[in-house]
């Protein structure tokens, strides 16, 4: 059942209904609500694990499982989960597992290039509202079709990085030799096709690795493969419906959308698997300048992020072309039910003392990190009071009354800001100007209205601190 | 990595992990007896006996030896609603002076679901022109317009002739009391110059002051009656009746602009219906840049379009997006470390991805700025319109790069 249609009551009725509180909730209904929101697991209800609840447990499990299977690739800290999704449109619930970005390598690349690309993939990092945006996987292709070369390259890649591998070779012998070296690291095998599926399935079973079924631009053949592999005993499957740039992008996006629609809304058998997109296909038409291939690849990858791809094979390692991709997936995979927010509280910047200024902002992650980076960059010594605005930006919070004079006054008391400084002077964001009088009245603190943008905060302090009158 | 996921995900990672494990067991143990299974479980895992009894046994003792048939259902989608068509610009034959006009909207399925319905009208790309030469522009943008920033007519001409803009999106910043407080008459002069310089349809935007904008729109609308200029925009804080009448009585169209809220969009449209035919209204639910609220922009647009297709009579308008807002993202213009260079590419790709993401949410009319972004989005739109099946899938697996 699509997640959006599941009600807590349905889940509640299958729980033990004893309200024993072992799960830490005050009653079964509370846990049911969390289960429906996928904020708790069935294991959190110990009584349910007892044998007499077998049937209920299994029913609940079926009810709560994602429409798109969660497929684990790799081992250890850097393992990734592909799929595990419940809905077609993010506003219906939320998307969960970021599509993984796999950086392309080939077994014929010169060693320096091979190593350099792994290093870039491994070290790629961009800080965005308190999160580290990174890359996830290495896609290793056998362009040599030589088993020994592929094995050596796979071994080398596994030595150089902990990132999970996507091994690409359509010849089973070539694949087998690489698996003999790195098969214990749970790489994703690319790919079973209509020609080699049985040998590839045997390899996947032997090494207990997930397997991509590939049938570019032939959905029936793809489903036929998925069905056959499933009945053959392969459980962790990823689907490759084919990727093309240029005019082919129209059919590409159609196919991704059809597959995801059928998996979620029709609960069609054998289609509830993660999808593989290959933006690297943008490189098959050589452009005059590789920049153009990189550019097209970024567009193709972004379109596939928007349209349900769970893993992307990308050749470019240029920061400018990868940055929009990691941003886009982060944006679309945040929970639309609640804004990304930070904890409320009072934070120190630099080395503030009893005479340092106190600044106010909201707990929307984007707001908080923008302000924090501005005052850090300006090396300002100060305190920053972060009010719980339920994750809203300053202006939205003021307009939506999620930040009011009362909540500000309360925050000053709760966070004991008065103990940190000798003065009673608060600098508020320019966009909260209309609260200034009220805050002054309610909290007893003198308020000065700062600039509209926090990039001007340091200059404002420099010009106005210490305040003339207390 | 684990930590990263924990931070990004709405807490349920544990659950997903557990599910993944259970799922595996569920299928794996098909041929195993109970005792064998317990041996395979790591001691740390809390799994009680009942959980591992497969719920849906796949009883395959015999493995297939050849491919099993299967067919994928192509979902037709059930839509009752249709987006209205809005005509932008008027040719001489239609009572205007433009060389051509555009029709946008008309969708009966989500954006570019070619398997459900063809996109009836190609989305339109308008390029921004400002009437104030001091408007702050990112370096990567300014380099293309340096010679024309002081002359809106020349600026418009460059956009059409060199950069192939479908339309011109003129912004009257100088009327702002904080800028030049220019008179409606001087604004009209600028509009007339631009209409003279190019023969594509145009949109005319105000400064955001609800009173001044109306005053200026009125003068321009009357003097250019019949042109089907797209006025940008009418908002909830304006005199809606007066604005709507100015638009209607002079044969123009208008953008109904609200701030990322489906209900506000409905409210404004509803208020406009009292004075204006639906076919004169384009709606804009606000565009935020990639990394700076694009998720909200995307979802509000996607939701409104789906609601419209399901029959909501107050949201079935073509959607407009100010994709130029992409440049508000620091990443689009800021100097950053060498690994992110050159910023001359970072900016336009930012605008491109912002626009194309919203294209897939349903946008019909784009206001854009960087020539490369305009060109890229145009190429993408043309490719998406083609609906072609590739004769041969590209072989990227053995590609030597
Ligand atoms: C995205 C958005 C939303 C999102 C919320 C995103 C979020 N998590 O906050 C949603 C769609 C949910 C939303 C809702 C609402 N919004 Co809203 N929203 C916006 C939008 C487009 C961007 C806001 C944003 O993210 N800004 C970026 C952050 C970083 O900015 P910031 O928090 O202000 O921080 C900056 C400054 O304030 C300053 N600063 C911050 N702290 C400090 C501290 C100090 C000391 C200093 C000096 C400076 C400083 O520096 C920061 C960096 O520049 C704006 C329009 C716009 N383009 O600005 C409208 C806007 C803020 N929203 C508005 C409104 C009215 C609302 C609603 C009340 C209703 C509505 N939709 O119309 C609701 C309120 C929510 C509620 N539950 O009741 C109005 C506010 C109008 C007003 N001035 O009163 C705006 C301006 C749109 C408009 N023109 O109508 N909104
Ligand atoms: S542990 Fe289970 S039975 Fe006990 S209250 Fe929680 S949900 Fe109910």
**Average pLDDT, integer, range A48-74:** 93
- CA distances, A63 to each of A7, A36, B58 (Å): 11, 9, 18
Convert the pLDDT of each residue in A91-108 to its tens digit.
999 999 999 999 999 999
Measured CA to CA, the distance from residue A451 to residue A436 in angstroms comes to: 13
Q: Does B278 touch chain A if contact means CB atoms closer than 8 Å? A: no
Measured CA to CA, the distance from residue A318 to residue A191 in angstroms comes to: 27
Tell if the CB–CB gap between B401 and A220 is shorter than 8 Å.
no
Convert the pLDDT of each residue in A302-359 to its tens digit.
999 999 999 999 999 999 999 999 999 999 999 998 888 999 999 999 999 999 999 9
Measured CA to CA, the distance from residue A448 to residue B278 in angstroms comes to: 47
Q: For residue A280, give the chain B residue with the closest CA.
A: B396
Q: Does A98 touch chain B if contact means CB atoms closer than 8 Å? A: yes
The alpha helices in A124-193, defined as continuous H runs, are 147-160, 172-182
A298: chain B residues, CB-CB within 8 Å: 349, 353
Residues 6+ apart with CB under 8 A from A355: A421, A422, A423, A466
B383: chain A residues, CB-CB within 8 Å: 245-250
A285, A245 Cβ separation under 8 angstroms: yes
**A356 in contact with ligand 1, CB cutoff 6 A:** no
- CA distances, A75 to each of A200, B19, B72, B163, B274 (Å): 21, 17, 33, 50, 62
**A404 in contact with ligand 1, CB cutoff 6 A:** no
For B182, the token pair is 């220019």
DSSP assignment of B185-232 = HHHHHHHHHHHHH--S-EEEE--S-HHHHHHHHHHHHHHTTTS--EEE
Nearest residue (by CA) to ligand 1, atom 62, is: A396
B127, B145 Cβ separation under 8 angstroms: no
Measured CA to CA, the distance from residue A331 to residue A133 in angstroms comes to: 11
Angle among Cα B377, B380, B381 to the nearest 5 degrees reads 85
Ligand nearest the Cα atom of residue A339: 1
Tell if the CB–CB gap between A254 and B331 is shorter than 8 Å.
no
Q: Give residue A2's pLDDT.
A: 54
Measured CA to CA, the distance from residue B227 to residue A40 in angstroms comes to: 59
Instruction: Looking at the complex, report in whole angstroms how far the Cα of residue B283 sits from the nearest Cα belonging to chain A.
Output: 20
Tell me what ipTM this predicted complex has.
Answer: 0.91
Between residues 407 and 466 of chain A, which touch chain B (CB distance below 8 Å)?
Answer: none
Residues 6+ apart with CB under 8 A from A187: A73, A74, A154, A164, A165, A166, A167, A179, A209
Going by pLDDT thresholds of 50, 70 and 90, the confidence category of residue A6 is: confident
- CA distances, B295 to each of A94, A340, B292 (Å): 12, 11, 8
**Is there a cis peptide before residue A466, judged by omega within 30 degrees of 0?**
yes
Q: Does A212 touch chain B if contact means CB atoms closer than 8 Å? A: no
Per-residue pLDDT of chain B in tens (401 residues, 90 and over written 9): 333 332 222 223 333 333 333 333 333 332 323 333 222 323 333 333 333 333 444 455 689 999 999 999 999 999 999 999 999 999 999 999 999 999 999 999 999 999 999 999 999 999 999 999 999 999 999 999 999 999 999 999 999 999 999 999 999 999 999 999 999 999 999 999 999 999 999 999 999 999 999 999 999 999 999 999 999 999 999 999 999 999 999 999 999 999 999 999 999 999 999 999 999 999 999 999 999 999 999 999 999 999 999 999 999 999 999 999 999 998 999 899 999 999 899 999 999 999 999 999 999 999 999 999 999 999 999 999 988 887 788 899 999 98
Which atom of ligand 1 sits closest to the CA of residue A370? Answer: 52
Q: Give residue B50's pLDDT.
A: 33
For A217, the token pair is 């631009």
B146, B178 Cβ separation under 8 angstroms: no
**Is there a cis peptide before residue A191, judged by omega within 30 degrees of 0?**
yes
Going by pLDDT thresholds of 50, 70 and 90, the confidence category of residue A251 is: very high
**Average pLDDT, integer, range A23-49:** 92
Tell if the CB–CB gap between A250 and B112 is shorter than 8 Å.
yes
For A249, the token pair is 């992008």
Nearest residue (by CA) to ligand 1, atom 69, is: A400
**A359 in contact with ligand 1, CB cutoff 6 A:** yes
Distance spanning both ends of chain A, measured CA to CA: 62
CA dihedral B221, B225, B231, B234 (to 10 degrees): 60
Convert the pLDDT of each residue in A397-445 to its tens digit.
999 999 999 999 999 999 999 999 999 999 999 999 999 999 999 999 9
Bridge-partner residues for A277, per DSSP?
Answer: A312
CATH code that applies to domain B85-386:
3.20.20.20
For A23, the token pair is 């799960």
Query: What burial letters (b/e) apply to B147-183, b meaning 16+ CB within 10 Å?
Result: ebbebbbbbbbbbbeebebbbbbbbbbbbbeeeeebe
For A182, the token pair is 């790195």
Q: Give residue A39's pLDDT.
A: 86
Tell if the CB–CB gap between A247 and B290 is shorter than 8 Å.
no
B114: chain A residues, CB-CB within 8 Å: 250-251, 254
Ligand nearest the Cα atom of residue A40: 2
Q: For tokens 């296909």, what's the residue?
A: A281
**B331 in contact with ligand 1, CB cutoff 6 A:** no
Measured CA to CA, the distance from residue A123 to residue A174 in angstroms comes to: 29
Q: Is B301 helix (H, G, I), strand (E, B) or coil?
A: helix
A58: chain B residues, CB-CB within 8 Å: 50-51, 53, 55
Number of alpha carbons in the 13 Å side-chain half-sphere of residue A308: 30
pLDDT over 90, % of chain A: 92
Tell if the CB–CB gap between B18 and A43 is shorter than 8 Å.
yes
Q: Does B217 touch chain A if contact means CB atoms closer than 8 Å? A: no
Burial of B62 (0-12, 13-18, 19+ CB in 10 A): exposed
Ligand nearest the Cα atom of residue A20: 2
Whether the pLDDT of residue A131 is over 60: the answer is: yes
Q: Does A19 touch chain B if contact means CB atoms closer than 8 Å? A: no
Instruction: Looking at the complex, report in whole angstroms how far the Cα of residue B383 sits from the nearest Cα belonging to chain A.
Output: 4
Nearest residue (by CA) to ligand 1, atom 11, is: B260
Q: Give residue A433's pLDDT.
A: 95
The best mutation among A11, A14, A27 to test binding of ligand 2, ranked by most ligand atoms within 8 Å of the C-beta, falls on: A27
Tell if the CB–CB gap between A249 and B388 is shorter than 8 Å.
no
Instruction: Looking at the complex, report in whole angstroms how far the Cα of residue B282 sits from the nearest Cα belonging to chain A.
Output: 23
Probe site for chain B from A37, A51, A56, A70 (most B CB atoms < 10 A): A70
Whether the pLDDT of residue A5 is over 90: the answer is: no
Q: Give residue B48's pLDDT.
A: 31
Whether the pLDDT of residue A235 is over 70: the answer is: yes
Kindly calculate the radius of gyration of chain A based on its CA atoms and give it in whole angstroms. Answer: 27
**A49 in contact with ligand 1, CB cutoff 6 A:** no
Probe site for chain B from A36, A43, A141 (most B CB atoms < 10 A): A43
Q: For residue B117, give the chain A residue with the closest CA.
A: A254
Convert the pLDDT of each residue in A434-458 to its tens digit.
999 999 999 999 999 999 999 999 9
Q: Say what angle helices B262-273 and B294-309 make with each other, to 10 degrees.
A: 50
Q: Does B385 touch chain A if contact means CB atoms closer than 8 Å? A: yes
Cα(B314) to ligand 2 centroid in Å equals 45
Tell if the CB–CB gap between B74 and A258 is shorter than 8 Å.
yes
Between residues 130 and 189 of chain B, which touch chain A (CB distance below 8 Å)?
Answer: none
Q: Does B45 touch chain A if contact means CB atoms closer than 8 Å? A: no
Between residues 120 and 179 of chain A, which touch chain B (CB distance below 8 Å)?
Answer: 128, 130-132, 134, 136, 141-143, 145, 168-170
Measured CA to CA, the distance from residue A446 to residue A442 in angstroms comes to: 10
Q: Give residue B391's pLDDT.
A: 78
A430, A422 Cβ separation under 8 angstroms: no
A366: chain B residues, CB-CB within 8 Å: 292-293
CA dihedral A422, A425, A428, A432 (to 10 degrees): 140
The alpha helices in B89-148, defined as continuous H runs, are 139-145
Q: Is A24 helix (H, G, I), strand (E, B) or coil?
A: coil
For A174, the token pair is 């070539």
**A339 in contact with ligand 1, CB cutoff 6 A:** yes
A256, A308 Cβ separation under 8 angstroms: yes
In the sheet that A345-349 helps form, which strands lie side by side, from edge to edge?
A: A345-349, A382-387, A358-362, A425-428, A446-449
**pTM for this model (two decimals):** 0.89
Query: Smallest Cα–Cα separation from A155: which of A94, A105, A214?
Result: A105
A150, A174 Cβ separation under 8 angstroms: yes
The best mutation among A12, A17, A20 to test binding of ligand 2, ranked by most ligand atoms within 8 Å of the C-beta, falls on: A20
Q: Give residue B60's pLDDT.
A: 54
What's A98's DSSP letter? P
Residues 6+ apart with CB under 8 A from B81: B108, B308, B309, B310, B311, B312, B313, B316
Q: Does A400 touch chain B if contact means CB atoms closer than 8 Å? A: no
Domain boundaries, chain B: 85-386
Cα(A397) to ligand 1 centroid in Å equals 7
Convert the pLDDT of each residue in A149-203 to its tens digit.
999 999 999 999 999 999 999 999 999 999 999 999 999 999 999 999 999 999 9
Measured CA to CA, the distance from residue A378 to residue B88 in angstroms comes to: 48
A254: chain B residues, CB-CB within 8 Å: 113-115
């Amino acid at each position: 059942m699509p997640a959006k249609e599941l009600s807590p009551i349905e889940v509640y009725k299958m729980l033990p209904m004893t309200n024993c509180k072992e799960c830490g909730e005050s009653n079964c209904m509370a846990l049911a609500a969390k289960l429906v929101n996928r904020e708790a697991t069935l294991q959190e209800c110990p009584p349910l694990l007892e044998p007499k609840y077998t049937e209920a447990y299994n029913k609940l499990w079926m009810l709560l499982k994602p429409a798109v299977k969660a497929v684990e690739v790799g081992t250890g800290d850097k393992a990734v989960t592909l799929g595990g999704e419940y809905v077609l449109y993010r506003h219906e619930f939320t998307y969960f597992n970021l599509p993984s970005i796999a950086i392309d390598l080939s077994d014929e690349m010169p060693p320096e290039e091979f190593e350099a690309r792994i290093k870039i993939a491994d070290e790629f990092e961009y800080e965005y509202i308190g999160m580290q945006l990174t890359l996830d996987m290495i896609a290793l292709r056998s362009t040599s079709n030589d088993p020994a070369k592929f094995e050596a390259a796979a071994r080398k890649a596994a030595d150089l990085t902990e990132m999970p591998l996507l091994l690409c070779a359509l010849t089973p012998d070539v694949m087998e030799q690489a698996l003999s070296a790195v098969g214990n690291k749970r790489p994703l095998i690319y790919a079973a096709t209509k020609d080699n599926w049985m040998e590839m399935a045997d390899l996947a079973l032997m090494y207990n690795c997930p397997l991509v079924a590939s049938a570019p631009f032939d959905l029936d053949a793809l489903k036929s493969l998925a069905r056959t592999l499933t009945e053959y005993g392969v459980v962790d499957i990823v689907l490759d419906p084919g990727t093309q740039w240029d005019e082919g992008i129209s059919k590409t996006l159609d196919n991704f959308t059809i597959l995801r629609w059928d998996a979620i809304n029709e609960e069609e058998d054998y289609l509830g698997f993660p999808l593989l997109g290959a933006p690297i296909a943008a490189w098959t038409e050589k452009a005059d300048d590789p920049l153009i291939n990189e550019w097209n690849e970024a567009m193709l990858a972004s379109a596939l992020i928007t349209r349900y791809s769970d893993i992307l094979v990308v050749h470019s390692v240029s920061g400018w072309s990868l940055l929009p991709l990691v941003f886009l997936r982060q944006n679309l995979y945040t929970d639309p039910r609640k804004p990304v927010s930070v904890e409320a509280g009072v934070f120190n910047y630099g080395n503030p003392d009893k005479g340092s200024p106190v600044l106010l902002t909201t707990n929307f992650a984007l707001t908080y990190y923008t302000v924090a980076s501005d005052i850090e960059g300006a090396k300002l010594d100060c305190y920053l009071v972060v009010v719980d605005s339920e994750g809203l930006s300053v202006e939205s919070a003021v307009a939506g009354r999620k930040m009011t004079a009362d909540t500000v006054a309360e925050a000053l008391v709760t966070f004991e800001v008065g103990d940190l400084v000798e003065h009673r002077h608060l600098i508020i964001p320019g966009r909260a100007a209309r609260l200034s009088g009220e805050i002054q009245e309610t909290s007893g603190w003198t308020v000065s209205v700062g600039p509209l943008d926090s990039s001007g905060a340091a200059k404002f302090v420099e010009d106005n601190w210490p305040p003339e009158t207390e | 990595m684990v930590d990263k996921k924990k931070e990004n995900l709405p807490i349920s990672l544990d659950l997903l992990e557990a599910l993944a494990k259970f799922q595996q067991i569920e299928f794996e143990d098909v041929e195993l007896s109970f005792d064998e299974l317990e041996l395979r479980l790591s001691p740390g895992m809390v799994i009680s006996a009942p959980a591992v009894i497969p719920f849906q046994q796949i009883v395959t003792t015999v493995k297939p030896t050849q491919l099993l048939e299967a067919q994928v259902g192509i979902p037709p989608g059930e839509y009752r609603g249709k987006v209205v068509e809005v005509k932008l610009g008027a040719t001489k034959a239609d009572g205007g002076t433009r060389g051509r006009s555009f029709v946008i909207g008309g969708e009966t399925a989500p954006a570019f679901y070619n398997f459900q319905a063809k996109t009836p009208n190609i989305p339109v790309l308008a390029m921004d022109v400002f009437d104030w030469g001091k408007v702050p522009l990112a370096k990567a943008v300014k380099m293309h317009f340096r010679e024309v920033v002081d002359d809106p007519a020349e600026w418009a001409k460059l956009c059409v002739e060199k950069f192939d803009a479908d339309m011109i999106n003129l912004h009257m910043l100088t009327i702002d009391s904080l800028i030049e407080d220019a008179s409606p008459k001087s604004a009209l002069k600028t509009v007339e110059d631009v209409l003279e310089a190019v023969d594509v349809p145009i949109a005319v935007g105000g400064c955001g002051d609800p009173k001044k904008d109306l005053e200026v729109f009125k003068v321009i609308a009357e003097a250019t009656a019949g042109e089907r200029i797209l006025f940008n925009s009418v908002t909830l804080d304006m005199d809606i009746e007066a604005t709507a009448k100015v638009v209607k009585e002079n044969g123009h169209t208008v953008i109904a602009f609200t701030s990322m809220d489906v209900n506000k969009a409905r409210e404004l449209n509803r208020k406009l219906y009292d004075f204006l035919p639906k076919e004169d209204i384009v709606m804009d639910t606000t565009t935020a840049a990639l990394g700076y609220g694009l998720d909200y922009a995307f979802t509000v647009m996607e939701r409104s379009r789906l609601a419209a297709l399901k029959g909501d009579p107050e949201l079935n308008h073509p959607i407009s997006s100010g994709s130029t807002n992409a440049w508000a993202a620091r990443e689009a213009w800021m100097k950053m470390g060498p690994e992110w260079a050159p910023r001359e590419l970072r900016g336009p790709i930012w605008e491109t991805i912002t626009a194309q993401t919203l294209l897939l949410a349903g946008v019909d009319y784009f206001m854009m700025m960087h020539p490369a972004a305009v060109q890229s989005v145009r190429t993408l739109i043309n490719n998406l319109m083609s609906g072609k099946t590739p004769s041969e899938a590209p072989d990227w697996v053995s590609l030597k790069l």
